[in-house]
Amino acid sequence: MPHEQVPPRAPADRGTARARPGRANRPVRRIVAAVAVVLGMLAAVVAVAPASAAGNPYQRGPDPTLASVAATRGPFATAQTSVPPGNGFNGGTIYYPTDRSLGTWGAVAIVPGYTARFADEEAWMGPWLASFGFVVIGVETNSRTDFDTARGAQLLAGLDYLTQKSPIRDRVDRTRLSVVGHSMGGGGALVAADRRPSLKAAVGLAPFKPSGSLATDRVPTMIMGGTRDDTVTPSYLDNLYATAPATTQRAYLQISGANHLFFTKANTLEMRILIPWLKTFVDNDTRYTRFLCPTLADSTGVSKYRSTCPFVPPSGAKVSGSSAFGSTAVGTPPTAPLISTSS
């Protein structure tokens, strides 16, 4: 087998240093080799990126931490626009991320409680949730004394307007919608979930649902209440939560010392739990489930937490967390961290 011939080494010249054949080219060869390695690594990253995106095209933002989910603002800049009355509800406000490079966003419709206005009690949630990567529509009701069924219908009307007629409809993924409400509006969110099972998530904040139980609820549903709520009492919510089908993914928590108006004031306790719920089921983002399963990652301010962990987001991929049906006592927590105290 022929061997490559290596040129003989030139004799050293004691007077003048001579470059050996090929030595001058060695730095160039090293640079070329280094560039080739870097390009290969970049090619590998590019090759992996589409697969990751294909696995979850709805994932938005950096990896979450306990601090980031409790922050008052997420990673995205936001803007807002007003909605005139009509289209089945009494107008309101839309909040949305301004970033257009990431495609469309999941959406949340929020409705207030009995006799209340969104602008007075829930408007603080709009830019907060939008900064975490959701389009939010705050719905004002046709009448301040509308009951849960009417508020549920107006939540759905708000989502229909948002996805079909609003000036930012092209920014919204109409297949990833959710609802949130407080008090009678919380009952409205549960009614909306019952009427439109294609919703990805529903959240009732101290929800009152005089129209009936959760027996036909199929939407992943979270209920929050307060231990000092004399309007929608813990025993009422215990009984309401128990009526949900065993197959419905759900969670229920009681906030220590919270009264009925706790949810109408900006607070990090509520949001650090609400955001992972919406991220899990609206964005299919399993990075956030560890804050909910197998129990709350931060139970400060929570006296009781029940869940049907492990949660299965829309992709059908089961995520970490052992089954935790029933009640989990989380001790006697200190006062919940608040931005402003509830009245």
C-alpha span between 315 and 326 (Å, rounded): 25
Concerning whether 260 is annotated as a catalytic residue, the answer is yes
Q: Is 275 exposed, middle or buried, given 0-12, 13-18 or 19+ CB atoms closer than 10 A?
A: buried
List 15's β-bridge partners, or say none.
Answer: none
What length is written for the chain? Answer: 343
- Residue of 148, 194, 260, 307 with catalytic role: 260
CA-closest candidate to residue 314, choices 52, 134, 3, 55: 55
* Beta strands per DSSP E along the chain: 78-83, 92-97, 105-111, 134-139, 172-182, 201-205, 221-226, 250-255, 302-307, 327-329
User: Could you tell me how far CA 155 lies from the centroid of its own chain?
Assistant: 19
* Beta strands per DSSP E along 140-249: 172-182, 201-205, 221-226
> Would strands 221-226 and 78-83 be described as parallel, antiparallel, or unpaired?
unpaired
CA-closest candidate to residue 289, choices 322, 267, 256: 322
Task: Tell me which DSSP letter residue 73 carries.
Answer: S
Please tell me whether residue 257 adopts helix, strand or coil conformation.
coil
- Residue of 3, 82, 230, 235 with catalytic role: 230
- Residue of 131, 166, 178, 183 with catalytic role: 183
Concerning whether 182 is annotated as a catalytic residue, the answer is no
Catalytic residues: 183, 230, 260
